[in-house]
Amino acid sequence: MRRRVARNVSFLGVLAVVVTVGAAAPSSSVPPPVPPKSPVAVGYGGAVASVDADATAAGIEVLRNGGNAVDAAVATAAALGVTEPYSAGLGGGGYFVYYNARTHRVETIDGRETAPRTADSSLFLEDGKPLAFADAVTSGLSVGTPGTPATWATALDTWGSKPLSGVLKPAERLARDGFVVDDTFRSQTEGNQARFADFPDTAKLFLPGGQLPVVGSLFKNPDLARTYEKVGREGIDELYRGELADDVVRAVRKPPVAPGASRVVRPGDLTAKDLRSYRALRRSPTKVGYRGLDVYGMAPSSSGGTSVGEALNILASTDLSRASEVQYLHRYIEASRIAFADRGRWVGDPAFEDVPTSGLLSRRFADSRECLIKDDAVLTSPLAPGDPRHPADCADRGTAAPTTYEGENTTHLTAADKWGNVVAYTLTIEQTGGSAITVPGRGYLLNNELTDFSFAPADPAVHDPNLPGPGKRPRSSISPTVVLKHGRPVLALGSPGGATIITTVLQSLIGTVDRGLPLVDAIAAPRASQRNSPTTELEPELWNSPLRSQLESLGHAFKLNPEIGAATGVQRLPDGRWLAAAEKVRRGGGSAMVVKPSGRP
Checking 548-552 for CB contacts under 8 A at 24+ apart, the result is 550/326, 551/326, 551/329, 551/330, 551/333
The number of residues making up the chain comes to: 601
Residues 303, 347: Cα–Cα separation, whole Å: 6
Q: Taking a C-beta distance cutoff of 8 angstroms, is the pair 479, 296 a contact?
A: no
HEC string of 36-93 equals CCCCEEEEEEEEEEECCHHHHHHHHHHHHCCCCHHHHHHHHHHHHHHHCCCCCCCCCE
Catalytic residue among 410, 438, 451, 536: 410
Q: Give phi and psi for 134, each to the nearest 5.
A: -65, -35
What value, to the nearest 5°, has the Cα angle with vertex 81 and ends 77 and 83? 110
- Give CA–CA dist 266/254, Å, rounded: 9
Distance CA 319, CA 330 (A): 13
* Residue 572 main-chain phi, psi, to 5 deg: -95, 120
Q: Catalytic annotation on 535?
A: no
| Helix/strand/coil (H/E/C) assignment for every residue in 329-393 | HHHHHHHHHHHHHHHHHHCCCCCCCCCCHHHHCCHHHHHHHHCCCCCCCCCCCCCCCCCCCCCCC
Give the integer Cα–Cα distance in Å for 323 and 335. Answer: 15
Cα Rg of the chain, angstroms:
23
Let me know if 282 is exposed, middle or buried by CB neighbors in 10 A (0-12, 13-18, 19+).
Answer: middle
Residue 39 contacts residue 583 (beta carbons within 8 Å)? yes
Which of 559, 444, 424, 554 minimizes the C-alpha distance to 201? 444
Active-site residues, by number, are 410
